[in-house]
Every structure is written in structure tokens, then in C-alpha cells.
Amino acid sequence: MGATKKADFAFEPKVWQDHISAYFDKKLVFGRFAVVDKTLTGSPGETVTMPYFKQIGAAQEPGEDEGLAVDKLQDDSFSATIKEVGKAVGFKKSALRKSAARAERIYKETQDQIARVHAEKVDSDLITEINTSGNYVTGFTAATAATDKCNVSNMVQGLITAFGDKWNDVLAIVIHSLQLSTLLRDTTAGFLKGDASSPWTGVPGYSGTFLGKALIICDQVPLVTAVESKKTYAAFAFKAAPYGLMVAEEYDMESDYDMLHREYVVGATQWYAVKAFHAKVGATDLRIARMTFATEVAA
């Protein structure tokens, strides 16, 4: 019997890279709000830096005979550590040879699922980053289950507590589906509004505009300590450019054949780093707010 030929295994790295990359982008939730840089050149474990300019001082009120004090523009950099993530899937030769249609279906499902788990991993890492103390400002903390739920008044209080008069700069709010359940039954002002023309329409979990902000539903938000025996979750509000995602330009796609086990294996690896930009340029440059709201479901 001859060696495996192209006709036996239709693995095309470039095609798979394009398909997985496209599906990956569609499945990102938190990644859709990130500043994305696809010029990553380091290796896993290395530290990458992202330059930025520090804020200059406040404007001066000079006297009639007083000159302006000269300030200086300084730069600095963020730092983040590159990591490698990957996923491999195997097919038995007998499964691929069952029929051409069957093989095509297996390939398509594999591509979709590899892309999905990579997107979930990136979102998970971004959540861990923004949920780290110092990378957010606290807007609202649930203390009583009966009143500290996700409703209009508590959300407004949380946004204004976090950002003050800059709360209108918030672009998006991400909450858990159980928090949405409470919010949709709130009869006060500021109800959810459908907006098909919103730039966030393609983001998974987008449910419309709330208080003029995109409302995103994502059950990956962290579960925090229960409040009075009720499940309690974190919710986040983002201004523009709240965090960064630095990725390699393409997935590294590989394939192999295990002759002894008659199994084809394909794998995709990706290198990236994540970094929250909250309060990094300046102490008052607040970009991420974290709030916690109790739900009506027992812990």
C-alpha cells in the first residue's frame, strides 16, 4: 500500500488558517473591545512592551507678568507576557474514509471548534486580566440580595460612582444572563432598546442599547461570593480602548499521521499577550468599571 497522498487527507494549512481566524473573530466577546495588535514577534514567556505617552500637567493660569511654566512630554510603556495556547484534534483513518461528505463535515466541525475554544480562551484570559485588582474601578458592590440586583437605578449608580461625569464615555456593559433576567423585568426608566444599526451588532451576546450603551450578555463573567445565598456575578463597563490583545498574524497550523494508531492529528497554536490599559496612562484615566449584582437564583 502506498504512502498517504494529498487525496487521502485534505489538510490545507492556509485554508484552515483563514477559516479558523474568521470564525475566531466572530466568537470573541471581550476580545471585540480590545485594541488588537497583530505584530507580535516575541516567543512564549518573553515580555513585550507597548509604548504610550504620559499625561501632561494641568493648564496654568499665569499672571499678567508671569510666563508659562514649560512642561515635558514623557513616554513609558506597558508590559505583558506572551503565552502560547493550542488545541489538537485527531481523526481515525476509518472515520475519514467513510465517505467524502463525512470527511468534509469532520474538517468543518474541527475548524469551527478549534476557533471557538481559542476564542473562549482569549476571552477567559482577558476576563482574568480585567478582573485583577488595580485593573478596574469599583462602581457598585452588592451587599443585600433583595435590593442590590441588576436594575436601572443600581446600574446608573455604579457607572456614575466609577466614572463620575465621564460615565457617558462608556461604550459597552457586559452582564451575566441571570442579571439580564432581572433587568428585563425592571419597570423603571431606561429600558433596553433594540438597535440593529449599532456597530456592536455582530458581537456575540449583543442585546441592544441600555442607557445609551451596548449591552452584552456573556456567562463567562466571574461568579463572586454569594450575597445572602444568592448567586452573584461581576459586571463590567468599558470605555474606549480598555485593554489590549497582541496576537501573531496567523495561527500555526500543523498536521501529522500516527501510523501505528492509524490516526490523523491536526493542531493549531497561537501566541498572544493581554494587557489592561485602565489607569496606566494616568491615575485618572479610568477605562474599566467592575460592579457586582445579586441574582434571584440560589447559590
pLDDT digits (tens, 9 = 90+) for 25-40: 888 999 999 988 877 6
Residue 269 φ then ψ, to 5°: -120, 155
Select the more confidently predicted residue: 218 or 188. 218
Q: Find out if CATH 3.40.50.300 is the number for domain 9-50+77-129+244-274.
A: no
Please list, in sequence order, all residues whose beta carbon lies within 8 angstroms of the beta carbon of residue 102, skipping any fewer than 6 positions away: 95, 96
CATH topology for the 137-243+282-298 domain: hypothetical protein PF0899 fold (3.30.2320)
The stretch 160-171 carries a mean pLDDT of 96
* pLDDT tens-digit readout, 38-81: 776 777 878 777 666 667 777 877 787 887 788 777 666 677 88
Q: What is the mean pLDDT of residues 110-126?
A: 91
pLDDT at 98: 63
* Cα gap 16→272, rounded to integer Å: 19
Which residues touch 34 (CB under 8 Å, ≥6 apart)?
Answer: 126, 242, 243, 244, 245, 274
Residue 155's nearest CA partner among 199, 177, 195, 186 is 186
pLDDT digits (tens, 9 = 90+) for 194-220: 766 777 788 889 998 899 899 999 999
Band (95; pLDDT cuts 50, 70, 90): confident
Domains in the chain: boundaries: 9-50+77-129+244-274, 137-243+282-298
Q: Percent of the chain scored above 70 by pLDDT?
A: 86
Given this model, what pLDDT does residue 191 score? Answer: 67
Distance CA 150, CA 163 (A): 18
With bands split at pLDDT 50, 70 and 90, how would you rate the model's confidence at 5?
very low
pLDDT surpasses 90 at 226: yes
- Residue 76's pLDDT is what? 66
Look up residue 192 and give its three cell numbers.
433596553
Lowest mean pLDDT among 73-77, 226-230, 279-283, 295-299: 73-77
Residue with the bigger pLDDT between 89 and 7: it is 89
Q: Scan for cell 470605555, then name that residue.
A: 239
Burial (CB count <10 Å: 0-12, 13-18, 19+), residue 156:
middle
Mean pLDDT of the chain: 84
Res 4: pLDDT: 43
Which residue has better confidence, 160 or 207?
160
